[in-house]
């Protein structure tokens, strides 16, 4: 297999959604919640950390478990999950991890001397009288904390606002003092929930969850998941506590709104909730987000795309790719695993991942793996029935004249090879029933240049696709 910067950027057997990326000491560290392969709920595992050199986003290093769900005094038996965290460097130079457990409305904090921990429980965010934020009468529940420290003030952004819930006003901003726990300025609403959005400019993209905060120059970028869930949006202000104006969509995990290679409202992946942020790495900016796998909402994987800013500070929406940038294609030679598919769909369209998990009777293809959670098994695409299509973008093709694929399953048919989702069929590869991975090939010429590759199954039964090779 070829190693380059790819999506998902971590190994295919790792499930880290809600990614918050930061650069510390010339390494990129990603903090997120931790899903379980074949899990029955969100965020079942303990926090782990991965890092990579700023000049090589294809070489990620596992930093180990940095915090366990049982480390919180409210959760000694581990019955609550660790939801999406964030990290900031305090005035004392230490690293502070903010998180919320899944059944309480308060923000917990842990601390470490190094970016990758191990983190130790530190306390709960509270008012000067000791009452925990989220538990005072009139408080809205805390959720998905995001943090930004400037001097001795830490700005804390929180919130979870379902459509139609008038008890939730929007995303909240709270200011903490130098001890990283005590509220010195009480919560204010900076982005509206759906019931309170009329005339705000946020209509149709109101705040739902997943706040994140970054600063670029003198401008604060508030990144969040909107009420449609699959998109990460942003709002901008010169003040961290007020004046945030809606900016647009940074990325959608079903590529909705993108109209460069397909109709704008055609979904090209099975989307779902989204959470992530933006970060500058080695002078270039990226958005980190997550995708859904295994046909459920509970096995999510981190992805990234390069973004750019217009002169006025706006961010054009990034297209989902297998390589992290439409301007930096992968080499058009060699073997690539099928789990790198950035497009996955069939003739029956669906914007969202199937939330019931009833995939035995479902027609949709899915990215999955063999084994159990934690087994280092390479991912593949399963349940490719008639019309199921996997798309990979982009490759710098030069002289490709043969395509090989590895397939198994109760199938009898062919895989059509194209360079666009609705384009001309360049050739077909016949496949048949096999209980083991079987290699098939055909002489197929891929035009020279930067190309997308689409593999569409035509035939009976259900095929699994492990990889393809360009020769």
The Cα 104–Cα 44 span in angstroms is 16
The Cα 322–Cα 305 span in angstroms is 9
Using the CB atoms, write b or e for 275-295: b if 16+ within 10 Å.
bbbbbebeeebbbbbbbbbbb
Whether 366 and 294 have beta carbons less than 8 Å apart is answered as yes
Q: Which residue in 144, 194, 209, 305 is the catalytic one?
A: 209
The Cα 288–Cα 302 span in angstroms is 7
The Cα 327–Cα 305 span in angstroms is 11
The Cα 293–Cα 368 span in angstroms is 6
Please report the beta strands in 164-296, taking only residues with DSSP state E, as ranges in sequence order: 170-176, 183-192, 207-216, 219-226, 231-237, 245-252, 277-281, 284-292
∠ at Cα 373 (295, 267), nearest 5°? 20
> Cβ atoms within 10 A of the Cβ of 111, count?
17
Using the CB atoms, write b or e for 187-201: b if 16+ within 10 Å.
bebbbbbbbbbeebe
Q: Which residue in 18, 20, 144, 319 is the catalytic one?
A: 18
**What token pair was written down for 177?**
């003092």
Active site residue 14: no
Active site residue 209: yes
Whether 303 and 30 have beta carbons less than 8 Å apart is answered as no
Which positions are annotated as active-site residues?
18, 209
């Amino acid at each position: 297999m070829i190693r380059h910067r790819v999506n998902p950027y971590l190994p295919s057997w790792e499930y880290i959604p809600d990614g918050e990326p930061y650069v510390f000491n010339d390494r990129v560290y990603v903090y997120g919640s931790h899903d379980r392969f074949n899990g029955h709920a969100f965020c079942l595992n303990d926090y782990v950390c991965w890092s990579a050199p700023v000049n090589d986003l294809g070489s990620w290093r596992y930093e180990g478990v940095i915090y366990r769900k049982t480390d919180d005094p409210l959760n000694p038996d581990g019955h609550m999950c660790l939801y999406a965290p964030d990290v900031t460097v305090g005035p004392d130079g230490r690293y502070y991890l903010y998180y919320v457990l899944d059944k309480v409305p308060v923000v917990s904090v842990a601390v470490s001397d190094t970016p990758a921990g191990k983190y130790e429980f530190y306390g709960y965010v509270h008012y000067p009288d000791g009452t925990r934020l989220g538990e005072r009468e009139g408080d809205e529940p805390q959720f998905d904390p995001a943090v930004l420290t400037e001097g001795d003030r830490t700005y804390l952004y929180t919130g979870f606002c379902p459509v139609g819930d008038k008890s939730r006003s929007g995303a909240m901003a709270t200011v903490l003092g130098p001890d990283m726990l005590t509220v010195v300025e009480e919560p204010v609403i900076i982005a509206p929930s759906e019931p309170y959005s009329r005339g705000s400019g946020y209509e149709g993209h109101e705040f739902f969850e997943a706040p994140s905060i970054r600063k670029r120059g003198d401008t604060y970028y508030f990144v969040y998941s909107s009420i449609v869930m699959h998109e990460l949006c942003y709002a901008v202000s010169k003040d961290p506590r007020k004046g945030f104006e809606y900016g647009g969509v940074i990325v959608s995990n079903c590529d909705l709104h993108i109209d460069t290679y397909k109709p704008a409202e055609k979904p090209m992946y099975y989307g779902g909730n989204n959470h992530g942020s933006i970060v500058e790495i080695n002078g270039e900016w990226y958005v980190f987000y997550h995708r859904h796998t295994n046909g459920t909402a509970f096995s999510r994987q981190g992805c990234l795309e390069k973004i750019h800013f217009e002169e006025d500070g706006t961010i054009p929406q990034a297209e989902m790719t297998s390589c992290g940038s439409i301007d930096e294609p992968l080499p058009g030679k060699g073997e690539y695993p099928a789990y790198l598919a950035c497009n996955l769909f069939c003739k029956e369209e669906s914007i969202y991942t199937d939330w019931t998990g009833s995939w035995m009777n479902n027609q949709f293809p899915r990215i999955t793996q063999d084994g159990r959670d934690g087994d280092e098994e390479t991912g593949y695409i399963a349940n490719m029935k008639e019309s199921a299509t996997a798309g990979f973008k982009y490759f710098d093709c030069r002289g490709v004249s043969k395509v090989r694929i590895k397939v198994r399953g109760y199938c009898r048919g062919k895989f059509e090879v194209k360079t666009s989702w609705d384009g001309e069929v360049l050739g077909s590869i016949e496949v048949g029933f096999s209980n083991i991975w079987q290699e098939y090939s055909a002489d197929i010429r891929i035009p020279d240049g930067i190309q997308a590759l689409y593999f569409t199954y035509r035939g009976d039964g259900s095929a699994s696709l492990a990889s393809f090779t360009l020769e």
